[in-house]
Amino acid sequence: MNKTFSFDVFDTCITRNLPSPEDVFGEAYIQARIQSAPSASETLSYIQLRKRIETEARRTAKEEGREEIEFKEIFRRTKKFPDSLLEKLIFSELQTERSVSVPVPFTKSKIARLLEKGEEIFFISDMYLDEKEILHLLLRAGYPKTLLEKLDVLSNQIPKRLIVSSSVQKTKHFGSVYKFLRESGKIKSKWVHIGDNLFADIHNARKSSVLPEYFPFVRDSRITEGPAPPESISQKDWQEWTGFIGKFRSLKFQALSGNPDEDAVQLLIANKIYPLLGAFSAWLSERSAFDKLNKLFFLSRDGFVLRTCYDAARLRHDIDSKYLLSSRQVWFFASITQLDDFFQEWMIVPGQSKSIYDILKKVYLEGEADSIASQLGLKKHSIIPSKQVFEFFELIKSRYGARIIEESFRKRKLLLQYLKQEGFFPSGKQKVGIVDIGWTLKMQEALDRIFNAEGLPIHYKGYYLFLTKDRRFPIQSSAEAMFLQDWLSRYFGNKNEILFRNIPVAEQLLAYNKERSLFDLKAVRKKVEPLFLETGVLKDAKLAEQYERFTKLYGPLGNMHRSVLNSDRFRSFALNQFTTFLKSPDLFYLRYLGKIRIADDQNESKQAPLFAPIGIRTFFRMLLIAFRFRAKSRIALGFLWTEASIRRGIFPFRWIALFCTNLFESVQKSKSKIRNILKFLYLKLYRIKTYQVGDELE
């Protein structure tokens, strides 16, 4: 006899691609307040308020004999915001849920296997969102339409295969939904329920004579330092991936300054850049819609700024935007299949250190630096003379070529694995695009080479902000590349001298926009400006050089001592902190802990250091804030310790912070061990099947 399988929805079938579910509230608040750009403290206050009013709504519902609340009911409990903002908050939270929800690959594969066997499938969700919204999330995540599209309603309450607590007023938490579904007549065989909540999905299911299976994947595999490892990549591979990216981030620290090809950062800081970013975002919104795309992926650190601007200035909201944790250098290395001219151009890049050691470090040969340098008659930290470049590459090819290609193959597989879990390989008729600063199209060329090396079809389009001076080249990439310059030429003439680093062009854009209202420049400025200002950067373009130095050590962590960045304690978090700086509201408090001060308009010459001195009262206030963040307090306390120890004369604070950090870690580890032991005993006592990441499907 066939079985009936039911699945929990959130954190079993789909999960939010954020460090914690609460991040949805902060992200929604930022989107709703785009015009006024909320501060970090305001965002944190809203997250606490949002949690509190939901708790109050649930308490009231329980007193009224209801098991679940409705989404809009939560927002009716606060009078703090005007109705217009409340509507924006409701809309923004729904949009955020859609944009951050991703499928859990293991569950998708298991459901597909069960359907092949002819098993009956149901979805059960304890959630305040209505069934239509949950349905939309499941369909968008790629779950079979045949399961979900036909909503055959029973007694005007229950869809055929989707049961949502806010609609039926029956929950797993109280155990009533199991009885409700059984009495509906839909369960005609042995019933198995799979979920991640030990109480609602396992204990209550077992009490209701349902065979539970435990899938603790999402909740139990989160890490407290940095983002959670992606679903389709193991913990070990995820650490290798983030370390791989961090390797090339650190090379930025050794870049040569003043090179004309390295002025993208200067451009982004210039006060007149907002019209350009707004124009690009408006063009990108319309162009990607014309190309019928479903999702845009923003690449590298420049892409992180562009995505922030795009979300502020976009004219359409039917195309998802997502940031990829990536690096041009990562893609270049992963694309190496032979040591050809492409390889040599990547190894020695204008604007980066050309010492033998630094070049070899890019291909994991730094341990051979002394040997190779001695054969060239140089020291390992010597700059390679132009006349010896050919000899240098011939030596590498002959002795280490196979080793480089083998390592590139490993990184290529890792990259494709990461792209797959991020949804870069669309299903059906979906189309995706990549967005970046298009200096020479090398990034797209590298990605094409990766796809060709693996025999994969190239299915994406590329959209670039064209920044290169006087470089007119044919587009040889097999994927189509679009440039904002083509769009601008319609209005300003097809002139080669139209360069986006040119301030007059930005002024023309500003005037043109004022006349035709293409995009909301104020919204763009409000959304993008804090990204620069709150990381210690002033609006004055003359300070671009300071910003360039500032960004060479992992963005906002730029003024931290290098030895701290390279320590095991902070490495995982530091490598990813810049890319998630605005995306995750839980990280906003790091700005406060860093005590970043922004110069006012009256005196822009004063720029406060990123880590300013703090007094003892401020220190303990920071300590209290840190403990509010529970699992992430280790990081917060660690930053306090670091900040105090690298300043002169504040060494006592270092030991206080270190003591508090160790004490907190000990308590957390003890609680965690006890909790895990009790969970283990419960699962073993009742012989409950437990799935883990990487388990083979049955």
For the ranges 327-341, 397-411, 476-490, 658-672, the lowest mean pLDDT is seen at 476-490
533 contacts 303 by C-beta, under 8 angstroms: no
Report the pLDDT value the prediction gives residue 443, as an integer from 0 to 100: 73
Q: In what order do the strands lie in the sheet with 460-466?
A: 320-323, 295-298, 432-438, 460-466, 481-483
Res 483 pLDDT > 70: no
Amino acid at 498: I
Contact 9, 134 (CB under 8 A): yes
Query: For 680-689, how does the pLDDT look when each residue is reduced to its tens digit (9 = 90+)?
Result: 788 888 888 8
261/466 Cα distance (integer angstroms): 13
Which pLDDT score is estimated for 663?
Answer: 60
Helices (H), 384-502: 389-421, 442-453, 484-492
Residues 498-502, mean pLDDT to the nearest whole number: 34
| 162: β partners | 123
Per-residue pLDDT at 566 exceeds 50: no
Query: What pLDDT does 211 receive?
Result: 92
- Residue 34: what pLDDT? 57
Q: Provide the percentage of residues in the chain whose pLDDT is more than 70.
A: 50
Stronger pLDDT, 140 or 512, i.e. the higher one? 140
Is the predicted pLDDT of residue 335 greater than 60, yes or no? yes
The answer on pLDDT for 8 being more than 90 is yes
Average pLDDT rounded to a whole number, residues 536-556: 34
Per the model's pLDDT, the better-predicted residue between 124 and 552 turns out to be 124
Question: Of the spans 197-211, 219-233, 407-421, 544-558, which averages the highest pLDDT?
Answer: 197-211
CA dist 340 and 343 (Å) reads 5
pLDDT computed for residue 33 by the predictor: 74
225-264 residue pLDDT tens: 233 333 344 545 544 544 444 443 333 323 322 332 333 3
Structure tokens at 611: 């880590």
pLDDT band at 40; cut points 50, 70, 90: low
Between 474 and 109, name the one with better pLDDT.
109
1-222 and 256-324+423-551 have identical folds: yes
pLDDT at 131 over 70: yes
**How many Cα atoms occupy the beta-carbon half-sphere of 405 within 13 Å?**
12
The answer for residues whose C-beta is within 8 angstroms of residue 55's C-beta and 6 or more apart is none
513 contacts 519 by C-beta, under 8 angstroms: yes
**Whether the predicted pLDDT of 349 surpasses 80:** no
pLDDT in tens, 260-307: 233 333 333 333 445 556 666 766 776 777 778 888 888 765 565 677
What does the pLDDT read at residue 183? 87
Domain ranges in the chain? 1-222, 256-324+423-551, 582-678
Share of the chain above pLDDT 90, in %: 8
115, pLDDT greater than 80:
yes
For 599-651, write each residue's pLDDT tens digit.
222 333 333 333 333 344 444 544 444 444 333 444 444 444 444 443 333 43
Is residue 364 pLDDT above 70, yes or no?
yes
pLDDT digits 0-9 by tens, 54-74: 989 999 999 999 999 999 889
φ and ψ at 158, to 5 degrees? -120, 125
Question: Which residues does residue 15 pair with via DSSP β-bridges, in sequence order?
Answer: 102
pLDDT (0 to 100) of residue 192? 93
Return the amino acid letter for 680.
F
From the number of C-beta atoms within 10 Å of its C-beta (0-12, 13-18, 19+), residue 487 rates as middle
Does pLDDT of 214 surpass 60? yes
Q: Is it the case that residue 331 has pLDDT exceeding 70?
A: yes
> Shortest CA distance to 177 belongs to which of 19, 67, 76?
67
CATH code for the domain defined by 256-324+423-551: 3.40.50
Instruction: Pick 451 or 256 by higher pLDDT.
Output: 451
Beta strands 295-298 and 101-103 are: unpaired
Residue 23: pLDDT band (50, 70, 90) is: confident
* CA 153/CA 156 separation, integer angstroms: 5
Q: Supply 251's token pair.
A: 């090379």
Q: What is the pLDDT of residue 107?
A: 86
Average pLDDT over residues 394-415: 83
pLDDT for 594 equals: 30
Q: Is the pLDDT of residue 181 over 70?
A: yes
Q: What superfamily would CATH give domain 1-222? A: HAD superfamily/HAD-like (3.40.50.1000)
The whole-number average pLDDT for the span 98-117 is 84
Supply the mean pLDDT for the chain.
64
Structural tokens at position 555 = 């963005």
Q: 12: closest CA among 190, 115, 143, 160?
A: 143
